[in-house]
Amino acid sequence: MDIKARIKERFQDKIIHWQENSARRVYFAIRKEDLVEVVKYLFKDLELRFAIATGTDTPDAFELLYHFGYDEKGEVYTIRVLLEDKAHPQIDSIANLFPGAEWIEREIWEMLGINFAGHPNLKKLLLADDWPEGNYPLRHKT
Amino acid sequence: MSHRIIVPIGPYHPLQEEPEFFQLYVEGEKVVDIDIIIGYNHRGIEQLAETRHYDQIPYLVERICGICSSSHPYAYVLAVEDILGGEKNVVPERALYIRTIVDELQRIHSHLLWLGLAGHFIGYNTVWMWAWKYREPVLDMFEMITGNRNNYAMFKIGGVRRDIKDEDTSVLKKALDELVPAIDMFRGAIMDDPVIQARLKNVGILTKQDVIDWCVVGPTARASGVNIDVRRDEPYGVFDKLSWSVIIEKEGDVFAKTIVRILEMYESVRIIRQCVDKMPKGEIDANIKDIPPGEGIGRVEAPRGECFHYIKSDGTNRPVRHKVRAPSFMNVASNKVGAVGGTISDAAITLAAVDPCYCCTERLAVIDRPKNKKIMNGWDLIKLSQEKTERIKKGIEK
């Protein structure tokens, strides 16, 4: 069974939205509570490679995208999670599943102010130590 | 109980061309832990990209790195073309070939640069001097094809900005013919040298599992037996039409990483030769005017590994979000396992073996501004420097 079918079958009650922009670009949305379970399945069971995560400040929510590469077929699977509580954005960390996610969560935390619960080492990555508290460069000014 | 001390390397250190800070926790000779502190070079490019229109961004992103300055604009245009329906459906055939040639020339110059630095780090300065000597003709090829030695300004959405002239292709081929014996020399000098083998084998090992856990990419991953290469896995340009192979080594030590990079240069030469022979005539630009709303991902195998760009468009002339992930972002973090457990004398070459991104060299010329006349060129400066050396020598002899 191909990867698309396996993901769909495994998480049929968890996938809110499934979208294939092209044969090699799949985006699917899930709830933030299910993130760790889905990432674990993609990374450990399907052995996809974690490419990176993208955080975006949108008018209604913070949007987090987790990009995974399926290198055998050259496909990219992107998990989309919306954090609707813009005052206190928080999501579970995936850095405990594999250390390759540590840095990007630190970056999103300092750039967008999203808290990653359970992150082993949540401190500044790129910004200076004396960067003013509560000032997040990638948040859009409203 | 052994005594633990901290040895700082950086943020500004003679061995590093770029600011980055490694704190080595050392017990005796042994490195037991490492803190990697980065951010000294943060320029806010993702945020800047949201304030530029689509045609300006290639110029911005090629300044992320002076060495892979074609990978970032290439990954960016691929991301935008992903929104438009894919590179192969948008870009004219000839432009695909030109893109591939620029991409591979860049790999040769980058690997030669790394080889020189690696030689310098282990005290083998002859390799350093020779590698950079043979890198010069590659930069000259860039100057001939693109007009620049670095920051080539070749890429645009829907094509390339400059065509390769027919008369230039023979010069390019000749330069490649002359480059191959130089690579042969490096292969011999490094693979057959027992001293280098003793110095680099079993040093800074990344196991296959480490590579997977730390999501490492590029030659660093391929040296540990992980068979990934974007050029083959998701072919862009014309990589699917050419015959070449992905270089894999199993050992995961610094020696294996060196071998992968040296052998990859041969493949790059093969690729460019085929491109020059097969390149069709025709348009080089599709003249794209508007970018529709949507999301796109572009991936390029930079000399250091997968370069990843994500673009979100709302249909205006600027992207809503532009995410950039350079390969070093994943690779440098893996030093946490590569350097720990080794000795402190191995740390410098282990940290350098992932080929972290350095800013590139610049050519020097002194200009008389009011008359706009060149009064000194590179040769004059070399002469000046040699004269100075002579003066110093005479001073010592006295």
Q: B389: domain range?
A: 366-398
pLDDT of residue B387: 82
pLDDT value at position B373?
A: 62
Q: Are B118 and B348 in contact (CB under 8 A)?
A: no
Q: Between B130 and B359, whose confidence is greater?
A: B130
Asked if the structure places residue B152 within a domain, the reply is yes
**Does residue B376 share a domain with residue B278?**
no
Give the tens place of pLDDT for each residue, B296-352: 999 999 999 999 999 999 999 999 999 999 999 999 889 889 889 889 888 888 888
What is the structure's pLDDT at B375?
62
Instruction: Report the pLDDT value the prediction gives residue B133, as an integer from 0 to 100.
Output: 94
Cross-sheet strand order for the sheet of B319-325: B294-302, B305-313, B319-325
The verdict on a CB contact (< 8 Å) between A74 and B216 is: no
What is the model's pTM? 0.90
Cα-flanking dihedrals φ and ψ of residue B95, to 5°? -65, -35
Q: Which of A38, A35, A48 is nearest to A7 (CA)?
A: A38
Is B172 part of any domain? yes
What's the Cα-to-Cα distance from B344 to each of A19, B18, B204, B334, B350, rounded to whole Å?
50, 20, 11, 17, 10
pLDDT of residue B310: 96
Domain for residue B332, yes or no?
yes
A65 vs B46: CB contact, 8 Å cut-off?
A: no
Do B347 and B371 lie in one domain? The reply is: no
The domain locations on chain A are 3-88
Angstrom CA distances, B118 to A73, B30, B139, B251, B348, stand at: 34, 21, 20, 18, 9
The CATH fold assigned to A3-88 is: Beta Polymerase; domain 2 (3.30.460)
Residue B380 neighbours by CB under 8 Å, 6+ apart = none
Q: Do residue B215 and residue A101 have CB atoms under 8 angstroms apart?
A: yes
What tens digit of pLDDT does each residue of B218-262 get? Answer: 999 999 999 999 999 999 999 999 999 999 999 999 999 999 999
pLDDT of residue B362 exceeding 50, the answer is no
Q: What angle do CA B59, B62, B64 make, to 5 degrees?
A: 120
Q: How many domains does chain B have?
A: 2
On whether any CB of chain B is under 8 Å from the CB of A103, the answer is: yes
A126: closest CA of chain B, how far (Å): 4
Torsion of CA B229, B350, B114, B261, to 10 degrees: -40
Residue with tokens 């630095």: B117
CB of B314 within 8 Å of a chain A CB? The answer is no
Same domain, B186 and B59: yes
Asked if the structure places residue B395 within a domain, the reply is yes
Write down the pLDDT at residue B275.
96
Choose among A76, A100, A127: nearest Cβ to B39.
Answer: A127
* Residues B276 and B232 both lie in one domain: yes
Q: Is residue B4 part of a domain?
A: no
pLDDT in tens, B30-88: 999 999 888 888 888 888 899 999 999 999 998 888 888 899 999 999 999 999 999 99
pLDDT at B361: 23
Summarize pLDDT for B163-208 with one digit per residue, the tens: 999 999 999 999 999 999 999 999 998 889 999 999 999 999 999 9
- Tell me which amino acid residue B94 is: R
d(CA B380, CA B383) in angstroms, rounded, equals: 5
Please list the pLDDT of chain A residue by residue as tens digits (142 residues). 789 999 999 999 999 999 999 999 999 999 999 999 999 999 999 999 999 999 999 999 999 999 999 999 999 999 999 999 999 999 999 999 999 999 999 999 999 999 999 999 999 988 888 888 889 999 987 6
For residue B39, give the nearest of A47, A51, A126 by CB distance: A126
Residues B265 and B377 in one domain: no
Q: Are residues B373 and B255 in the same domain?
A: no
Q: Is B36 within a domain?
A: no
Chain B within 8 Å of A101 (Cβ-Cβ)? yes
Structure-token pair, residue B122:
């282990």
ipTM of the complex: 0.96
Q: What is the DSSP string of B291-312?
A: --SEEEEEEEEETTEEEEEEEE
pLDDT, residue B197, reads 92
Same domain, B173 and B255: yes
Neighbours of B319 (CB within 10 A): 26
pLDDT given at position B389: 75
Same domain for B242 and B383, yes or no, is: no
Q: CATH no. for residue B188?
A: 1.10.645.10
Residue B134 within any structural domain of the chain? yes
Do B264 and B383 lie in one domain? The reply is no
Please give the pLDDT value at position B99: 97
Q: Do B215 and A128 touch (CB under 8 A)?
A: no
From chain B, the residues in CB contact with A141 under 8 A are none
